[in-house]
Amino acid sequence: MIAKTVAFVICCAVASASPQGRIAGGEAAEVESHPYMTALVYHYPRPDIYIQRCVGPLISSWHVLTTAYCFNGATLENFQVRAGSTKSMEGGSVTTIVEVIEHPDYVLSPRENDIAVVLLATPFSVSDVTYPLPLPPQNLYLAEGTAGVVTGWGFDGEDGDQLDSLNTVTLRTVSLDTCEQAYADVSDVAIKDTVLCASEENKGTCFGDSGAPMTTYIYSQKALIGISSVYKDCGSAEYPDVFTRVDRFTDWILEVAVVPSKSSGYASPQLAV
């Protein structure tokens, strides 16, 4: 109990430097069911602590897809990337980041084109706990009401506890018109065709899960359709969660997510087909 309280106080102390978004109203999950999950852990030199700052799915052995916002105000050398563990702060395999390629049209405010490809210092070997997630075809049709599974770590609500074990929640997409009306009084996000909006009562993203993947089945194959970008009021059906719509960026991702030479035996980015 003391450890949890201390962790919560520390996390709140650095909240102004941490991107938003963690899973609210979720259920416990195991990494074997979501082997593409990685935790982007950040070292804050003062007061010398490590915090799970963002989330991102593996899209190849060498690459993680996450939000550009994750790196706002951050020092690249302070990141660690953990994969292959149900826990965000222990177990699995850990590497560092060589390069972050933000989308050239990324805008911080109002948030737009919030996506980045991360090149890892060393690749994650393919296994039952580290396996890349297929990308959607460019400009995929997604029907309103599509169920998407969102996975991440952290607080289960604005007044909840910080969780270090993987959680998952299922949301359903809503129309852009509905989403735009909901965010009419919010000036720091652009509701356009490059986002997906999704909600369920008392479920959604909350603090620190920027980049959390949303998946659904495409051609009978689990694939990535969104990454968590913006939320307002954790788990509020009044304000749908906003995800970067990955299929609007598939061609760009494949262009920049280049596998280094001499890397045979590792997974390259793949499309759901």
> Cα(137)–Cα(15) distance, rounded to whole angstroms?
36
**Do 203 and 127 belong together in one domain?**
no
The pLDDT value recorded for residue 9 is 30
- What is the residue type of 56? G
**Do 208 and 241 belong together in one domain?**
yes
CB 136 within 8 A of CB 200: no
Residue 20 has pLDDT above 80, yes or no: no
Which residues are paired to 204 by β-bridges?
A: 24
Domain count, the chain: 2
Taking 3-state DSSP, the helix, strand and coil percentages for the chain, each rounded to the nearest 5, stand at: 15, 35, 50
CB 25 within 8 A of CB 169: yes
CB 191 within 8 A of CB 180: yes
Quick one: which of 233, 241, 232, 237 has its CA closest to 212?
Answer: 241
Residue 68 forms part of a structural domain? yes
> Cα(15)–Cα(28) distance, rounded to whole angstroms?
24
Residue 64 forms part of a structural domain? yes
**Do 14 and 42 belong together in one domain?**
yes
When pLDDT is cut at 50, 70 and 90, the band that residue 22 belongs to is very low
**Do 151 and 127 belong together in one domain?**
no
Residue 92 forms part of a structural domain? yes
> For residues 2 and 227, which has the higher predicted lDDT (pLDDT)?
227
**Do 158 and 238 belong together in one domain?**
yes
The pLDDT value recorded for residue 17 is 39
When pLDDT is cut at 50, 70 and 90, the band that residue 237 belongs to is confident
Global confidence as pTM: 0.90
Residue 39 forms part of a structural domain? yes
| Mean pLDDT confidence for 244-258 | 97
The pLDDT value recorded for residue 1 is 22
**Do 191 and 231 belong together in one domain?**
yes
How far is residue 273 CA from its own chain's centroid? 23
> For residues 71 and 22, which has the higher predicted lDDT (pLDDT)?
71
Give the CATH number for residue 107.
2.40.10.10
**Do 124 and 153 belong together in one domain?**
no
Residue 160 forms part of a structural domain? yes
> For residues 219 and 27, which has the higher predicted lDDT (pLDDT)?
219
Quick one: which of 135, 130, 139, 150 has its CA closest to 24?
Answer: 150
CB 93 within 8 A of CB 37: no
- What is the residue type of 209? D
Q: What is the mean pLDDT of the chain?
A: 88
Residue 273 forms part of a structural domain? no
| Mean pLDDT confidence for 202-223 | 91
**Do 224 and 168 belong together in one domain?**
yes
Q: SS3 for 40?
A: strand
**Do 181 and 118 belong together in one domain?**
no
Preceding amide of 110 cis, omega within 30: yes
Instruction: State the residue for tokens 């804050």.
Output: 44
> For residues 267 and 112, which has the higher predicted lDDT (pLDDT)?
112
Residue 14 has pLDDT above 70, yes or no: no
- Of 32-41, 129-138, 206-215, least confident by mean pLDDT is 206-215
The pLDDT value recorded for residue 209 is 81
> Cα(231)–Cα(227) distance, rounded to whole angstroms?
12
**Do 80 and 178 belong together in one domain?**
no
Residue 21 has pLDDT above 60, yes or no: no
Q: Looking at 4-96, which runs of residues are DSSP E strands?
A: 23-24, 27-28, 37-44, 49-57, 63-66, 79-83, 93-95
- Could you tell me the residue range of the domain that residue 11 belongs to? 2-21+35-132+251-256
- Pinpoint the alpha helices (H) of the chain: 2-13, 176-182, 250-256
Residue 30 forms part of a structural domain? no
Residue 13 has pLDDT above 50, yes or no: no
Residue percentage of the chain with pLDDT more than 90:
73
**Do 157 and 124 belong together in one domain?**
no
Q: Which residues contact 257 (CB under 8 A, 6 or more apart)?
A: 59, 60, 62, 63, 117, 269
**Do 17 and 123 belong together in one domain?**
yes
Residue 47 forms part of a structural domain? yes
Residue 31 has pLDDT above 80, yes or no: yes
